[in-house]
Structure 1
């Protein structure tokens, strides 16, 4: 290799030229290093948590209306005057107790008339019966014709028909007289009495409302979605799973259970009706009242994630999952129900997934991120 020697005096003007040539190269290297540092600094560190399994309480609350199992609207079954009112409004009565008498005098007179007509028809039937026997005897001797015998038997049959008609009238009269006496169908409490003694009522008019002792029913409507969730949680239908919140916010001391449901989804509202039975020994629950029904069941192996890890896109619940490759991916999940500050998940996640717990506004689908692992548990959810 040939070495070129540069005279010392030449360095004075050659050094500035060399420095100017090297500056762009050094600046380029420095800039590349800076860009690498910024790019590395843009990767966010996000807290992640894995879904966990625990026993949770599944609660659902509904507005309900109360109806007494023994509630009856006592109506007049005859037309006439209210002759007797033998009970006061709000009074407690026993089964079979006489409460009202309606139109009994007119009905008793009509019954007496029907009984008299029956007696007359029975007597006439006996006369016609003797006439038939006599005519039959004469016909056997050839004294009267067959036509006369047939006529006598026809008259006897007509009288027997009137006897049957009179018997039916007497039976109807006795039934009407029974209807005139209104009695308590069971033990219970009498409501308001709109028609006092001396008032005229028609058949079907209200006499009073009667509420029997015993079970009180709370009726509520659940959406089709809620009804499906309830069917997947059989514990909601067990004894003691339902509690009742009264109108003043206090809790009714006795718990109940769902004892009936409508098998048909209402066409207009898309809801399903349910009935909850409660004992009412002290009469605290009143027919026609409103309340709230809360159903509670324990779900032993629920997959849980914090609510703050979730967001909605087009009415779908979603989360961000940080993969093992450090890439954030959006994943729709199928919630079962919300409990406190958590969601119980039915599908879309497993216990091994890393869900972005906080800072979901800092990442997007496909972004790179570094994980700050949090211990799973309900404490994180708050």
Structure 2
């Protein structure tokens, strides 16, 4: 009896221990079966945009420099002002140039008078020759003097035109309609010939330049509708803050050869600038449409990288997950384009990939 009483407690303990082991295993199994959201690949018939670094330039942008030496006497415009073609912007002191012009006109008048005097002498000599009073040699000599006098008149006229041009250059005018940039020199500044005063830009429309590779150009040229002489492609402009410019532009090929160092060729897209938002020298990106038809997309949250390769977790039929590599294309919004490696009928773990491992059994939740 004592032996039986000792055995029973041990049997009870064993049963209790076995029960605890079963419950512990069940709890572990429940813990392993993690709930994960799953989604299918998104398939859309859409147009994808490829982006390129853009160089934004005003349609016209020139530096305004002084053609003369002298003091900057007057500034007629303020920085940032909108000006019209031919409008006077600056004036260089013109006293010296007025004096030179007056001196040149006086020299011209003297040359004209001298030429007139020689012309009268020529006529008189001609009559004397007809009366045999003087020889023909005298007539020829006076003819040469008359030609020399006329040449001096032409020379004096050239000097007058030169001084007149210089005098007109004391007024610096706008070469076209545009907006004035920062004015580097102020009233009273001494200008050297060629000194930079400011710049002016025509911002009514802007040219945006971007480069494509030779392979991209050849892909473009393989289109049956392609013609380098009449190629026009509608493109978008993404501004530096990431916002899309409200107007579309038209891209054209503007270079006839590839850059030898980079193997690229430049295209130019022209955008209207009616609101004046774009400025010369601004930065941004050109978005060029690439028609791809039916395209597969995978959510960005589902994708992770290992050693420069992209992966997702795919849900198997037995509700286990498998890490599967695929080739990701361009990012579009919150998605990546699936170029190859995934089928549209596969279900993908939407998020939480960092807590999963190959072969783990999960509890999928359709998202």
Rounded Cα–Cα distance in structure 2 between residues aligned with 1:152 and 1:95: 52
Query: Is 1:140 the equivalent of 2:130?
Result: yes
Q: Tell me which residue corresponds to 1:223.
A: 213
SS of 2:52 mapped into structure 1: strand
Higher strand share: 2
Q: Tell me which residue corresponds to 2:337.
A: 341
Q: Report 1:223-372 matches (<5 A).
A: 223-232=213-222, 238=232, 241-299=234-292, 340-343=336-339, 357=341
1:306–1:380 Cα contact (<8 Å) kept:
no
Query: Is 1:123 the equivalent of 2:113?
Result: yes
- CA 214–232 in structure 1, closer or farther in 2 if over 3 Å, else same: farther
Rounded Cα–Cα distance in structure 1 between residues aligned with 2:202 and 2:79: 14
Rounded Cα–Cα distance in structure 1 between residues aligned with 2:131 and 2:347: 113
2:236–2:249 Cα contact (<8 Å) kept:
yes
Q: 1:184 aligns with which of 168, 171, 174?
A: 174
Q: Tell me which residue corresponds to 1:75.
A: 65
Rounded Cα–Cα distance in structure 2 between residues aligned with 1:73 and 1:299: 45
2:232–2:252 Cα contact (<8 Å) kept:
no
- CA 200–231 in structure 1, closer or farther in 2 if over 3 Å, else same: farther
- CA 245–186 in structure 1, closer or farther in 2 if over 3 Å, else same: same
Structure 1, unmatched stretches of 5+, are 1-52, 308-334, 344-354, 359-373
2:48–2:292 Cα contact (<8 Å) kept:
yes
Q: Tell me which residue corresponds to 1:157.
A: 147
Rounded Cα–Cα distance in structure 1 between residues aligned with 2:108 and 2:62: 37
Task: Provide the TM-score with structure 1 as the length reference.
Answer: 0.64
* 1:55 CA drift (Å): 5.2
* 1:380 CA drift (Å): 5.4
* 1:259 CA drift (Å): 3.2
Q: Deviations over 1:199-235 (max 9, x none)?
A: 2223322121111231111111222222223334569
Rounded Cα–Cα distance in structure 1 between residues aligned with 2:115 and 2:261: 63
2:203–2:278 Cα contact (<8 Å) kept:
no
* 1:82 CA drift (Å): 1.4
Q: Tell me which residue corresponds to 2:38.
A: none
Moved more, 93-102 or 116-125: 93-102
- CA 271–381 in structure 1, closer or farther in 2 if over 3 Å, else same: farther
Q: Deviations over 1:149-187 (max 9, x none)?
A: 111111111110010001111112222222221112233
Q: Tell me which residue corresponds to 2:101.
A: 111
Q: Tell me which residue corresponds to 1:213.
A: 203
Q: Tell me which residue corresponds to 1:91.
A: 81
Q: Tell me which residue corresponds to 2:308.
A: none
Rounded Cα–Cα distance in structure 2 between residues aligned with 1:56 and 1:284: 30
Moved more, 111-120 or 136-145: 136-145
Task: Provide the TM-score with structure 2 as the length reference.
Answer: 0.66
Measured on the aligned residues, the alpha-carbon RMSD in Å equals 2.9
- CA 188–162 in structure 1, closer or farther in 2 if over 3 Å, else same: same
Structure 2, unmatched stretches of 5+, are 1-42, 299-326, 349-367
2:203–2:279 Cα contact (<8 Å) kept:
no
Number of corresponding residues: 269
Q: Deviations over 1:73-128 (max 9, x none)?
A: 11222222212111111122223221011242222211111111101100111000
